[in-house]
């Protein structure tokens, strides 16, 4: 992806970034988005494991290209399922809001 207008993260951020403001007033929503962000990170960068199967605690870095590929696959699946955004929060809106949290956390739309 050579310029940000081609990046699928731009459209997701435009649509779902405003939902991040709801996290400050809804602790349950914050927890749900946090879990979705962790699941996306796990899908992109599996946590290293010890021989006993437990995970090592270390910060993982989300790359723009990896998250963009994830978003393309996720939104393609939503399109195939004829998904429409509900008024509240379903799995897809929580996942896309979590993507926005990751975009903001890792400053993935910076030039």
Q: What is the mean pLDDT of residues 50-70?
A: 81
Q: What is the pTM of this model?
A: 0.86
Residue 22 pLDDT > 60: yes
User: Which of 106, 93, 86, 73 has its CA nearest to residue 19?
Assistant: 93
CB 44 within 8 A of CB 62: yes
- For the stretch 70-97, pLDDT in tens is 999 999 999 999 999 998 899 999 999 9
- For the stretch 30-52, pLDDT in tens is 999 999 999 999 999 876 777 77
Domain ranges of the chain: 4-105
């Amino acid at each position: 992806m050579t310029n940000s207008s081609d990046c699928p993260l731009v459209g997701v951020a435009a649509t779902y970034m405003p939902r991040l403001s709801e996290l400050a007033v809804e602790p349950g929503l914050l927890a749900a988005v946090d879990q979705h962000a962790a699941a996306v990170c796990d899908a992109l960068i599996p946590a290293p494991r010890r021989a006993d199967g437990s995970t090592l605690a270390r910060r993982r870095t989300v790359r723009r290209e990896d998250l963009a590929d994830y978003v393309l696959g996720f939104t393609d699946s939503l399109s195939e399922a004829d998904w429409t955004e509900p008024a509240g929060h379903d799995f897809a809106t929580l996942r896309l809001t979590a993507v926005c949290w990751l975009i903001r956390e890792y400053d993935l739309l910076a030039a």
